[in-house]
A and B are shown apart, each in its own frame.
Chain A
């Protein structure tokens, strides 16, 4: 502080982080030159210099006629439905973490904390084969229903298109809840002890402590994660929907990532996939800053 002026110190702090910014530039920014492929008709062995320039053709081709527009609208609807549902319940991991840390029996708590992360490590492919063995026409569930005399013909759970958003959301939640809660458990551990002491002195009940001490302390983490989730609104991922899709639920399950994949699988061009991922990147960044602006307006502080 004495040796450097205020501005000197400020710049020295930047110097500390500059090597990292360089890494970031090399690995994240430099490859972005690849976005130019979106404006060409590029097929790998032929170099870019010999590929025809097509301008915005790939972007336009997404909406070039009514059938495609309908498809894209349906895909966007699904994306909104599924992302919306998980946004709506984005507080679940937080609540999960709060109540988990309320458990007094240490062994039991650790057991729960460990086993609830298990589903996170089972690949979607395997999840589906487990789901199939339970819910297919010969599966355990139908077997039980039959024995209880509730059904005579098997219920085809997996090809049922009703409530498919809800069932997909339930699978996701089952798989990720315990894992996502870890973030909030850490946040709870970071709460200043003196706050508890103060609450205790005031004679607060457990629920009051949760409401007035724990919850407010978790909100910054929650808002940050919420914002990131909104920014990645279009990225539902694809593995889950890929394994669960079939002709009957596809119309409602096909999110943007799956749509793009289904198209590319038949040998779609590289340039188109770049065009779409570029579009997604831009939309995400726009969403990020919009939410940030909104946060500034509502909460008085931005997040990034």
Chain B
């Protein structure tokens, strides 16, 4: 569960932004076309070339319902609204979504035990690895050859991904199409700010003189000054410089809040491992090592708490509470790039008010590249699917310019429009259609825009793919029109201060970031024995970490640490560490290959 949450969070940044605002294509009005078999163009009027593949042979006259088992969905039930109508009109398909995020892990366990997961599957890599030998997924190799759009990505994206499952897939067949693949390069990072980096309210930071931050100690001092100068929000809520929350620790195996600060100093925790941290050079460090970054960050939080900078409610609050505090601008230190959005707005930006990146001179961030190989899940077809050809046709359309535009940006003319220079810009409606759940015109299916969006909540190629019509990403945040519209006093002031276009640009220029190739594969599933040991250790480590942050004094901090080092041994630390080290080594190897092959 935690794993999917993590993926979800990450894809939030990558995709949601695009998913919601946005542009897209044309001819959305194709809704009236009830295509039949005779038509060579199954979808009606698309201005973009044949809405889907060479579909002549496929008969759409029979209405079908596809059961979509979808780890990414947060809604269970039939797809309704404008997207539902679109798919129904184009393909005579109803999507019936099963969402483990709603129904729980048991949904996967029970349905696989019964031997039929669903027709279209959006599942984790590790699940794909289990399902291939169990014969529950379909070999797509041949079907892909007949597709118009998907076939373009077979060699560069799908083949290498599937080939990496060599243990269960010795013949290199294609079973899964990874989700959210960017079409940039395995070593490019396209976003304007790293996923985790120090972020602070610009006006407060300037209010205490914007002192240069050389290290974490400087950071603590400046937080202290800011807290002293701004003890309360304008409406009287206390400022909590650092606020932590417990409910994302889930399957991380350690304190999630510690994990992401480690990234500032070059150490990341690879997905599906819990006991180690890895840097760009390929050094693997156990988190309970006395010199680990994990311990250094714990010490940082401990020091912060000693200085009265940590929210006393941290151990008892959940993420929702933190979100409220972010919305109220009660928090002075943020790290996830998307945390800015809770407070920042264009209007506030015009007044120079908002959260921005504030680099620390001695930091050296580790950042995964764009998800060139995907982000942890795959699209697959269930072995018992009754209409695999029609599912394939639908998936191919998802990947067509038309499908991508609908998915990320909605309707041309409604959400976005063409500018004079042939690019896209958001319409006034389009800028807020998601937040306001703007009613969609009846011809498109009616209902709210947000309610009617694709509940599949996943794409194969992501919106970091160039739209052939405009030469820009599908993601509307990166349209030149959007970037221009979003220029505010806040951004220009920041740019002047740091002499850089954006945070990523600054870190790259100053050699303060390592972009490591995004690796997307299954690192092998744990044996039951390792699973059990892992969860016991994780539970113990999380608990002790929290106690260390809130320890009364350094002696207690040290004593908790030593006791943990000793106790986890008894819980089977060595075995789990060995398993994680093997996983990390695989990552290091694949990264080297990706870098060499770029």
Give chain B residues whose Cβ lies under 8 Å from the Cβ of A1. Answer: none
Knowing A156-B312, A248-B550, A263-B539, say if A61 contacts B108 (CB, 8 Å). no
Across the interface, B534 reaches (CB within 8 A) one of A45, A132, A262, A266, namely A266
Give chain B residues whose Cβ lies under 8 Å from the Cβ of A136. Answer: 313, 316-317
Seen from chain B, the residues whose Cβ lies within 8 Å of a Cβ on chain A are: 1-2, 108-110, 112-113, 130-131, 133-134, 136, 237-238, 246, 250-251, 253, 274, 311-313, 315-317, 320-321, 525-529, 531-532, 534-536, 538-539, 542-543, 545-547, 550, 567, 570-571
Give chain A residues whose Cβ lies under 8 Å from the Cβ of B131. Answer: 45
Q: B556: shortest Cβ distance to chain A, in Å?
A: 13
26 cross-chain CB contacts under 8 A: A41-B527, A44-B108, A44-B130, A45-B112, A45-B130, A45-B131, A45-B134, A46-B130, A47-B134, A65-B571, A67-B571, A68-B571, A137-B313, A138-B237, A246-B316, A246-B546, A262-B535, A263-B536, A266-B2, A266-B531, A267-B251, A267-B526, A267-B531, A267-B535, A268-B532, A271-B528
Q: In the bound complex, do residue A43 and residue B130 qualify as a contact, i.e. CB atoms below 8 Å apart?
A: yes
Q: In the bound complex, do residue A267 and residue B534 qualify as a contact, i.e. CB atoms below 8 Å apart?
A: yes
Give chain B residues whose Cβ lies under 8 Å from the Cβ of A67. Answer: 567, 570-571
Secondary structure class of chain B's binding surface, majority of residues: helix
Q: In the bound complex, do residue A46 and residue B134 qualify as a contact, i.e. CB atoms below 8 Å apart?
A: yes
Q: In the bound complex, do residue B547 and residue A247 qualify as a contact, i.e. CB atoms below 8 Å apart?
A: yes
Is A265 close to B, CB under 8 A? yes
Give chain B residues whose Cβ lies under 8 Å from the Cβ of A268. Answer: 531-532, 535
Q: In the bound complex, do residue A272 and residue B528 qualify as a contact, i.e. CB atoms below 8 Å apart?
A: yes
Q: B321: shortest Cβ distance to chain A, in Å?
A: 7
Across the interface, A137 reaches (CB within 8 A) one of B312, B532, B539, B546, namely B312
Knowing A43-B528, A267-B534, say if A132 contacts B112 (CB, 8 Å). no
Q: A126: shortest Cβ distance to chain B, in Å?
A: 12
Q: In the bound complex, do residue A156 and residue B535 qualify as a contact, i.e. CB atoms below 8 Å apart?
A: no
Knowing A45-B130, A66-B570, A247-B246, say if A263 contacts B532 (CB, 8 Å). yes
Across the interface, B316 reaches (CB within 8 A) one of A158, A263, A266, A270, namely A158
Q: In the bound complex, do residue A250 and residue B543 qualify as a contact, i.e. CB atoms below 8 Å apart?
A: yes
Is A24 close to B, CB under 8 A? no
Across the interface, A265 reaches (CB within 8 A) one of B1, B110, B311, B567, namely B1
Give chain B residues whose Cβ lies under 8 Å from the Cβ of A132. Answer: 313, 316-317, 321
Nearest residue (CB) in B for A154 is B312
Nearest residue (CB) in B for A251 is B543
Q: In the bound complex, do residue A272 and residue B539 qualify as a contact, i.e. CB atoms below 8 Å apart?
A: no
**Complexed CA–CA distance, A18 and B560 (Å):** 61
**Complexed CA–CA distance, A46 and B112 (Å):** 9
Q: B128: shortest Cβ distance to chain A, in Å?
A: 10
Give chain B residues whose Cβ lies under 8 Å from the Cβ of A272. Answer: 528, 532
Bitwise interface map of A from 120 to 155 toward B, beta carbon under 8 Å scored 1, else 0: 000000000100100011100000000000000010
**Complexed CA–CA distance, A3 and B274 (Å):** 74
Q: B551: shortest Cβ distance to chain A, in Å?
A: 11
Q: In the bound complex, do residue A138 and residue B238 qualify as a contact, i.e. CB atoms below 8 Å apart?
A: yes
Give chain B residues whose Cβ lies under 8 Å from the Cβ of A44. Answer: 108-110, 112-113, 130
Give chain A residues whose Cβ lies under 8 Å from the Cβ of B134. Answer: 45-47
Q: A38: shortest Cβ distance to chain B, in Å?
A: 12
Nearest residue (CB) in B for A65 is B570
Q: In the bound complex, do residue A265 and residue B251 qualify as a contact, i.e. CB atoms below 8 Å apart?
A: yes
Across the interface, A248 reaches (CB within 8 A) one of B527, B528, B539, B547, namely B547
Q: In the bound complex, do residue B539 and residue A270 qualify as a contact, i.e. CB atoms below 8 Å apart?
A: no
Max chain A C-beta neighbours (<10 A), residue from B112, B528, B535: B528
Give chain B residues whose Cβ lies under 8 Å from the Cβ of A266. Answer: 2, 250-251, 253, 274, 531, 534-536, 538-539
**Complexed CA–CA distance, A71 and B570 (Å):** 12
Q: Which 3 A-B pairs have the closest CB atoms?
A: A266-B535, A247-B546, A67-B570
Nearest residue (CB) in B for A269 is B528
**Complexed CA–CA distance, A45 and B316 (Å):** 38
Give chain A residues whose Cβ lies under 8 Å from the Cβ of B251. Answer: 265-267
Interface residues of A in 82-141 (CB under 8 A from B): 129, 132, 136-138
Is A159 close to B, CB under 8 A? yes
Given A137-B311, A246-B546, A247-B543, 18 more pairs with CB closer than 8 A? A44-B110, A44-B112, A47-B134, A61-B529, A65-B570, A71-B536, A132-B321, A137-B312, A156-B316, A159-B316, A246-B316, A247-B546, A248-B547, A263-B536, A266-B2, A266-B531, A266-B534, A269-B528
Across the interface, B532 reaches (CB within 8 A) one of A61, A65, A247, namely A61
Q: A152: shortest Cβ distance to chain B, in Å?
A: 13
Q: A37: shortest Cβ distance to chain B, in Å?
A: 10
Q: B544: shortest Cβ distance to chain A, in Å?
A: 8
Is A225 close to B, CB under 8 A? no
Max chain B C-beta neighbours (<10 A), residue from A45, A46, A132, A159: A45
Is A264 close to B, CB under 8 A? yes
Give chain A residues whose Cβ lies under 8 Å from the Cβ of B311. Answer: 137
Bitwise interface map of A from 218 to 252 toward B, beta carbon under 8 Å scored 1, else 0: 00000000000000000000000000001110100
Nearest residue (CB) in B for A135 is B316
Give chain B residues whose Cβ lies under 8 Å from the Cβ of A156. Answer: 312-313, 316
Q: B79: shortest Cβ distance to chain A, in Å?
A: 27
Give chain B residues whose Cβ lies under 8 Å from the Cβ of A271. Answer: 528
Q: In the bound complex, do residue A247 and residue B538 qualify as a contact, i.e. CB atoms below 8 Å apart?
A: no
Nearest residue (CB) in B for A125 is B318
Q: In the bound complex, do residue A262 and residue B570 qualify as a contact, i.e. CB atoms below 8 Å apart?
A: no
Give chain B residues whose Cβ lies under 8 Å from the Cβ of A47. Answer: 134
**Complexed CA–CA distance, A82 and B547 (Å):** 24
Across the interface, B535 reaches (CB within 8 A) one of A138, A154, A159, A263, namely A263
**Complexed CA–CA distance, A263 and B535 (Å):** 5
**Complexed CA–CA distance, A47 and B134 (Å):** 8
Give chain B residues whose Cβ lies under 8 Å from the Cβ of A159. Answer: 315-316
Bitwise interface map of A from 26 to 64 toward B, beta carbon under 8 Å scored 1, else 0: 000000000000000101111100000000000001000
Nearest residue (CB) in A for B547 is A247
Across the interface, B109 reaches (CB within 8 A) one of A154, A250, A270, namely A270
Q: A53: shortest Cβ distance to chain B, in Å?
A: 13
Give chain B residues whose Cβ lies under 8 Å from the Cβ of A270. Answer: 109
Give chain B residues whose Cβ lies under 8 Å from the Cβ of A267. Answer: 251, 526, 531, 534-535
Interface residues of A in 170-222 (CB under 8 A from B): none
**Complexed CA–CA distance, A65 and B543 (Å):** 20
Q: A260: shortest Cβ distance to chain B, in Å?
A: 10
**Complexed CA–CA distance, A250 and B246 (Å):** 13
**Complexed CA–CA distance, A47 and B131 (Å):** 11
Give chain A residues whose Cβ lies under 8 Å from the Cβ of B312. Answer: 137, 154, 156
Q: B89: shortest Cβ distance to chain A, in Å?
A: 36
Q: A95: shortest Cβ distance to chain B, in Å?
A: 33
Across the interface, B315 reaches (CB within 8 A) one of A43, A46, A61, A246, namely A246
Give chain A residues whose Cβ lies under 8 Å from the Cβ of B535. Answer: 262-268
Interface residues of A in 254-304 (CB under 8 A from B): 262-272
**Complexed CA–CA distance, A61 and B2 (Å):** 24
Give chain B residues whose Cβ lies under 8 Å from the Cβ of A154. Answer: 312
Q: A33: shortest Cβ distance to chain B, in Å?
A: 13
Give chain A residues whose Cβ lies under 8 Å from the Cβ of B534. Answer: 266-267
Max chain A C-beta neighbours (<10 A), residue from B2, B238, B315, B526: B315
Give chain A residues whose Cβ lies under 8 Å from the Cβ of B316. Answer: 132, 136, 156, 158-159, 246
Q: In the bound complex, do residue B109 and residue A269 qualify as a contact, i.e. CB atoms below 8 Å apart?
A: no
Nearest residue (CB) in A for B113 is A44
Nearest residue (CB) in A for B546 is A247
Give chain B residues whose Cβ lies under 8 Å from the Cβ of A71. Answer: 536
Nearest residue (CB) in B for A34 is B113
Q: In the bound complex, do residue A68 and residue B570 qualify as a contact, i.e. CB atoms below 8 Å apart?
A: yes
Give chain A residues whose Cβ lies under 8 Å from the Cβ of B525. Answer: 43
**Complexed CA–CA distance, A250 and B541 (Å):** 13
**Complexed CA–CA distance, A60 and B251 (Å):** 24
**Complexed CA–CA distance, A74 and B497 (Å):** 56
Nearest residue (CB) in A for B325 is A138
**Complexed CA–CA distance, A26 and B462 (Å):** 48
